[in-house]
Structure 1
Amino acid sequence: MDYSELARAAAVKVLNYSREPGGWRLCKSTDEVSIYWRPSTEFPGNVYKGEGIVNEAPKHLWEYLKPEPGGLRVTWDKTVKEFEVIEAVTDTISVCRTVTPAAAMKIISPRDFVDVVLVNQYEDGTIASSATNVQHTSCPPQPGYVRGLNHPCGCLCVPVPGDPGKTQLVSVFQTDLSGRLPQSVVDSFFPYSMAQFYSNLIKAVRTQNL
């Protein structure tokens, strides 16, 4: 399996999702984020995109989002219980396992995900992480967890022109939670979870001084 090729292909798709203006429908809006959706072309589900402005410079905000073991993200992101690197492919590409807790009043049981993750920076200063599901021989499905599948997804810290102290945070999620879940639960979970993602991140930025 060519992890590098898969990671780079996912990064292209995530960047395209972040920049494509058409075809999206607004499904949830708060003071902190607008969340849009459209049918996914990757699997029989939806792709969701969140867009919000965070009062923090991109490089500083990135510290809260870095996909790394023992990083800040597990301290504020309620959807991430554990994060581990299974294999470091290159300096910027790694195969990782993420564990999520039960959600939606425990209707959604704990999940785990195995993804190849690419971290890169674009010419305009955008810092991004992109991921997609892969298989790895050292990490088969684990007892007590439903193995979910992330299709090309990620987060982008985009500089705001003329205001270096702000970041446009764009998040892309398209996840097959697997298992036998009512579609109504899945459809309501993602917009709510993404809104909480932004709210919890902004609270962390306000209270933790890096």
Structure 2
Amino acid sequence: MDPALAAQVSAEVAEKMLQYRRDASGWKTCREDNGVCVSWRPSVEFPGKLYRGEGIVKAPWEKVWDCLKPLAGSLREKWDENVTSFEIVESITDTLSVSRTATPSAAMKLISPRDFVDLVLVRAYEDGSISSNATHTEHPSCPTRPGYVRGFNHPCGCFCEPLPGEPSTTRVVAFFQTDLSGYLPQSVVEAFFPRSMATFFTNLRRASTSLC
């Protein structure tokens, strides 16, 4: 992958994530449970929804980030039930890479296994926050593979934010807008994502105290 183009695309995605993080308008709550709020608004990237999940994790941000960081040998596949495998296909820089993620079947197998190939940028901020920012890409070593439907992550990301004065507490804000592809009823897709995001936070909280 051309490093200059990858850097440009990933920087644009990171800026979009900041815009999503700062813009509180237009969000509609679709699930609220156990201190986690999942909301959505229409995506401008594809004919679907942009989802936002926000919750507090009772662990230092370093431990939370250890569970989230998109690096080789990541803990993600150990705790996230929506990830069966995660690999770095190409490391472009220390903070920029191409990854491939495989997900299991879901929704009582109405959703078959998917795989996603993404350009991923890690960015740190002056306030101590850190984020992963991703969007779908193509890579010559990642053709579609038997048994999986190729899905597409439109600009998405996850913020890990330490809370001032509370060193053992971290706010996590995640944004997803994923095209699962295939022939799925819209009702199945819209039921899956809010539940999946709520489960993501439940498992992250558990992993931040037991694995990291």
Give the TM interval when normalised to the shorter protein.
over 0.9
Alignment of 1:8-19 (within 5 A): 8-19=11-22
The Cα of 1:99 is off from its aligned counterpart by: 0.4
Amino acid at match of 1:65: L
Q: In the aligned structure 2, how far is the partner of 1:51 from the partner of 1:146?
A: 28
Q: Quick check: 1:32–1:198 contact (8 Å CA) kept in 2?
A: no
Alignment match of 2:126 (pick from 123, 126, 137): 123
1:163 paired to 2:143: no
Which SS does the other structure have where 1:84 is aligned? strand
Deviations 1:5-32 (A, max 9, x none): 1111111111211221111000000113
CA distance in 1, matches of 2:35, 2:133: 22
Distance in 1 of aligned mates of 2:139 and 2:207: 33
Question: Aligned partners of 1:59, 1:204: CA distance in 2, in Å?
Answer: 13
1:94 partner SS: strand
The 3-state SS of whatever aligns with 2:101 is strand
**Per-residue deviation, 1:207:** 2.8
2:89 and 2:107 mapped to 1: Cα distance?
28
Is residue 183 of structure 1 aligned with residue 154 of structure 2?
A: no
Structure 1, gaps ≥5 residues long: none
* Structure 1 contact 32–199 (Cα < 8 Å) conserved: no
TM-score (norm 2): 0.95
- Measure, in 1, the Cα distance between the counterparts of 2:72 and 2:94: 15
CA contact (8 A) 1:82 1:100 kept: yes
Give % identity.
55
Closer/same/farther in 2, CA of residues 59 and 206 from structure 1, 3 Å limit = closer
Structure 2's unaligned 5+ residue stretches are: none
Q: TM-score, normalised by structure 1?
A: 0.96
Identify the residue that residue 98 of structure 1 maps to in structure 2: 101
* 1:207–1:59 Cα change, 3 Å: closer
1:78 is aligned, of 81, 86, 92, to 81
Task: Report how many aligned residue pairs link the two structures.
Answer: 209
Partner residue of 1:88 out of 86, 91, 99: 91
Conservation of the 8 A alpha-carbon contact between 2:89 and 2:99: yes
**Which amino acid is 2:123 matched to?**
N
Please state if 1:30 is matched with 2:33: yes
Give 1:113's aligned residue. 116
Q: Specify the SS of the correspondent of 2:98.
A: strand
Report how far residue 162 of structure 1 moved: 2.1
Q: Does 1:140 align with 2:140?
A: no
